[in-house]
Amino acid sequence: MTKPTLTEVIEASLFGIAGVVVELQESLPKIVAKGKSTLEPRLGMAKFVGQFAVARVESEFQKRADTTIGQIADMVSLLLGQSKDEERYESDLGSTGDSVFSEQDISTIADVQTPIARVPTDAGHLPITGYRTLSAQQIIARLDSLNQSELEEIDQYESENRNRASIRRSIAAKRARL
């Protein structure tokens, strides 16, 4: 075997590269079509499953966020010692732009000692587990499974603590049906 000359090496390299380019130009569309026909159905299914999974996660996240926001709002109301009805009333008063109190009222109120906020009674004994963390809607949904004495416990707890009108009305309606 003889050693190739420099001219032969250059020709082989140049014509080899040119041959590969020409072959790719002719074969590439066939290769692409074969790859597309093989992978496209699989990619379509993967895309569909991915979109379904993302939609499901978004839906679950939204549900949990809504529940959490409701629970936070209930806890804030509890800490402030206000029911949602009271908050709406106060916001309606403030929305008129008029002062609710006169200067004399404000000075009188300033002189009066404010009472210590009442501490909610323990909800651990109630027939609905996790009562203090549930929204009014969640509690109302569970009332149908309670008997008269359990409804009384819930009503008494509500009257002594948050006094949510929607829950108390639902209890009264449920008692009327029993």
The pLDDT score that the predictor gives to residue 172 is 92
The pLDDT score that the predictor gives to residue 152 is 92
**Nearest-5° Cα angle at 152, 149 to 153:** 90
**Nearest-5° Cα angle at 177, 172 to 178:** 100
The pLDDT score that the predictor gives to residue 92 is 45
State mean pLDDT over 87-100: 46
Full-prediction pTM beyond 0.85? no
Are 137 and 67 contacting, i.e. CB atoms less than 8 angstroms apart?
A: no
The pLDDT score that the predictor gives to residue 153 is 92
Could you report the per-residue pLDDT of 99-138, keeping only the tens digit for each? 455 555 554 544 444 444 444 455 668 888 888 888 999 9
Burial 124-146 (b: 16+ CB within 10 A, else e): eebebeebbebbbebbbeebeeb
The pLDDT score that the predictor gives to residue 122 is 56
The pLDDT score that the predictor gives to residue 115 is 43
The pLDDT score that the predictor gives to residue 76 is 79
The pLDDT score that the predictor gives to residue 72 is 86
Cβ neighbours for 73, distance < 8 A, ≥ 6 positions apart: 84, 135
Please give the torsion angle defined by the CA atoms of residues 32, 34, 38 and 39, in that order, rounded to the nearest 10 degrees.
0
DSSP code for 164: -
Could you report the per-residue pLDDT of 41-71, keeping only the tens digit for each? 888 888 888 888 888 888 888 888 888 888 8
